[in-house]
């Protein structure tokens, strides 16, 4: 039984005629996804800051909305830090592999 690599791995397999273009597309896609995630995190943090400032200046805002927005921003930041930690650990594990 011959098992074939899937997707990008197939184009990078030894002896394959595929180009590294597929690898570049995957890298670009990952970079775009990472950039989008950072942008979403930034907008969540800015929204929480704006709501907090509105509350501090005495504007008519619902305290519950402010707290929900703050908690959402906090959870998003914690998730981002955990993802970053896992990515660094995965990178370090790959660097320790002997080829």
In a domain, 15, yes or no: no
pLDDT at 14: 52
pLDDT at 19: 55
pLDDT at 3: 53
The whole-angstrom separation of Cα 61 and Cα 26 is 44
Task: Give the number of other CB atoms < 10 A from CB of residue 89.
Answer: 10
pLDDT at 20: 60
Segments forming the whole domain that contains residue 40: 21-96
In a domain, 77, yes or no: yes
In a domain, 8, yes or no: no
pLDDT at 6: 53
In a domain, 1, yes or no: no
Question: Tens digit of pLDDT for each residue in 40-57?
Answer: 999 999 999 999 999 999
* pTM score: 0.67
Average pLDDT per run of 10 along the chain, which is 99 residues long? 51 52 81 90 96 94 95 95 94 91
The total domain count for the chain is 1
Q: Are 22 and 8 in contact (CB under 8 A)?
A: yes
In a domain, 10, yes or no: no
In a domain, 2, yes or no: no
The whole-angstrom separation of Cα 18 and Cα 24 is 12
pLDDT at 80: 94
pLDDT at 53: 96
In a domain, 5, yes or no: no
């Amino acid at each position: 039984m011959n098992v074939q690599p899937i997707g990008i791995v197939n184009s990078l397999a030894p002896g394959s005629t595929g180009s590294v273009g597929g690898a570049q597309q995957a890298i670009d896609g990952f970079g775009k996804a990472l950039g989008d995630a950072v942008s979403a995190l930034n907008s969540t943090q800015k929204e929480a800051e704006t709501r907090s400032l509105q509350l501090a200046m005495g504007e008519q805002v619902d305290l519950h909305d402010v707290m929900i927005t703050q908690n959402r921003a906090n959870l998003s930041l914690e998730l981002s830090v955990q993802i970053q930690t896992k990515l660094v650990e995965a990178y370090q594990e790959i660097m320790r592999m002997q080829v």
